[in-house]
Structure formats: C-alpha cells, structure tokens
Amino acid sequence: MTGTPLEMPRLQLAVIGDEISPSLDDMIDFCAENAVGRLEMRTVGGRNLLGMELDEIAEIASRIHQARLTVPTFVSPVLKWRAPGQTDKGGKVDFAFDPDMCPTGDPFQHAFDICIMLGATRLRIFSWLKYDDYQPGDLAGPLGQLCDLADEYGVDLQVENEPVCNVASIADLKAVMETFSHRRIRPLLDICNAYSMGQPPTVEELKALAPRTDHLSFKDRKLAERRTVPVGQGDVPYAQLLPVIFAGTKSREVLASIETHVPEDPRNATRQNVHALRHLAEHLGVEVD
C-alpha cells in the first residue's frame, strides 16, 4: 500500500455500550440517535457479560439485534486478572473481573459462547495483571488455548495494551505480535493508553504493527491534567499517527472503537467522540460508516 486516500481502509465506527450508560435501553437509544450501527458489549447494569448465564446473554443479544445493531466485539476482561502463581503489582483496575465469577467455571469457553450469541467476530483479551519478570513467552499457554477456540469458533483475538497489564505499551504489544504469529492474534492498539503512561508509540512501532492491525481504540487524554477527554480535546496526535497505520494495514476495513472513559458525562462525551471521529476521518480522507 502507498497510503494514498483511495487505498486507505474504511473505518467502521463502533461505540462500547457501557461508556454511554449502564442501561441497555440507553445504549440502543444512543445508537439510533447518532446513526451508529455497531454496539460493542462489555457490561450491562454494572455486570460483566462474562459473569452472566447464557440465557441472560441471549436476552441481551435479542434486544440488540431487534434494534438492527451489530456487535462486532465482545469487549471481554479475559486475562485481565492475576496470573497463576504470580503476585500482581496492585492498583486500581477498571472493569476488573475475577475468573471464579464465571458461571461455567471455564471463562475461555464461556467468552466464545458469548461471542457466538452476540454475533461478535472479535474477542478483546489482555495479558494478565502486571507482575515482575514478565516475558511475552509467558502467554504461550493461555494464548494457545484461546487460539484453538478462536479457530473453532471463527473469532479473532484482539490483544489490547492496558497500563495495569503486562502488555501495557505499544512496544509491549509489538513484542507479543513478534512472539506469536497465529493468524487469529491481532493487536488492538490503544494509543491513548500508551500516552497516559508516558510511553507514546514511535513511528517504527506503529509501522511494525500496522500489517496485522484491524482494530483501534479511541479516546483522548489531557496529559498535564491526568484526565481522559473526547478525541480532539487532548494531547494524542491522531491526525499524525493514524496515517502510519492506515498506510501499512493489510485490512480493507478497520474497526474504530470509541471508549470514552468520561464517567461524569458519559453519554454527551461519547456523542462528542462520535462527531470528532467522523470529522477526523474526513480530514484524513478516510471513509467512515
């Protein structure tokens, strides 16, 4: 790819439901109000879907599909918990999950069953809560199990960089992609997370990850104030960084997930993000739907 506008991928805009409201009705209403056709699911009523029985998931899925919305991703907390035999470094964990709360006793299998019921073709995963002496190869066991299930179910594994986890920066994400070449393992780049921890990605890191990238997480950050804000209101230079990814990706469509993280005004901030992302795409000459 040369990175010319005609060759750039199409952005597929999605919102993460609980960034709008804990209420499924509010999530669906927001999508109708803002002409958003993709609703990514993580929690409903403050409960993570991974902790729900499948009949509860079926009811949620039915209501979403009746509203003619698609769910591209189950925004799961898989591996956002303590590694066996390790002591994590502590600290606040957003959307923390105890795997013992999974009703089936097998959170990996349950996560894929949820994907099927939602119609999701992507499963977001993490890399265990951060511990000393972590190496990318430590993930071989769980990633092997997850890849077997991913092949069976036809679901891609989107590994997100998260500051409280071992894969925290874009550099950490690059190391995982270099270690594991399975076609189902893909990077879910959260560029804002990298900035928030003082480790912004380099152009070289983005170029290295671009060929396998088909999913991006969008929020912004006022670094001096240490707070998350809608896209375009903070210090993350998306207009400079996104063309690097778009020029290198092998995917014709890239999912753009809005993860607002503005709890004091979630619905309005998510609306601002939707408008900002559409404006950014127009500025870059990228189609968005």
Spell out the residues 6+ positions from residue 138 whose beta carbon is closer than 8 angstroms to its own: 83, 128, 166
H or E stretch including 152?
helix 140-153
pLDDT at residue 254 is higher than 80: yes
105 φψ region: left (φ > 0), alpha (ψ -120 to 50), beta (else): left
Which CATH number is associated with domain 5-284?
3.20.20.150
pLDDT at residue 3 is higher than 70: no
**pLDDT more than 90, % of the chain:** 93
Q: Write the pLDDT tens digit of every residue in 79-105.
A: 999 999 998 877 777 888 999 999 999
pLDDT at residue 6 is higher than 60: no
| Cβ density class 179-210: b for 16+ within 10 Å, e for less | ebeeebbbbbbbbbbbbbeebbbeeebbebbb
Vertex 174, ends 285 and 94: CA angle to 5°?
85
Distance (Å, whole) CA 86 – CA 65? 41
Spell out the residues 6+ positions from residue 236 whose beta carbon is closer than 8 angstroms to its own: 191, 192, 195, 220, 221
pLDDT at residue 1 is higher than 50: no
pLDDT, residue 132, reads: 94
Taking residues 63-75, report their average pLDDT. 98
> Domain ranges in the chain?
5-284
Angle between helices 107-118 and 54-66 (to 10 degrees): 20
Distance (Å, whole) CA 138 – CA 127? 9
Taking residues 160-166, report their average pLDDT. 96
Q: Write the pLDDT tens digit of every residue in 102-148.
A: 999 999 999 999 999 999 999 999 999 999 999 999 999 999 999 99
pLDDT at residue 267 is higher than 90: yes
Tell me the pLDDT of the chain averaged across its residues.
Answer: 95
pLDDT at residue 282 is higher than 50: yes
pLDDT at residue 224 is higher than 50: yes
Count of all residues that appear for the chain in the document: 289
pLDDT, residue 92, reads: 75
Are 50 and 107 in contact by the 8 Å Cβ rule? The answer is yes
Are 98 and 80 in contact by the 8 Å Cβ rule? The answer is no
pLDDT, residue 140, reads: 98
Are 221 and 236 in contact by the 8 Å Cβ rule? The answer is yes
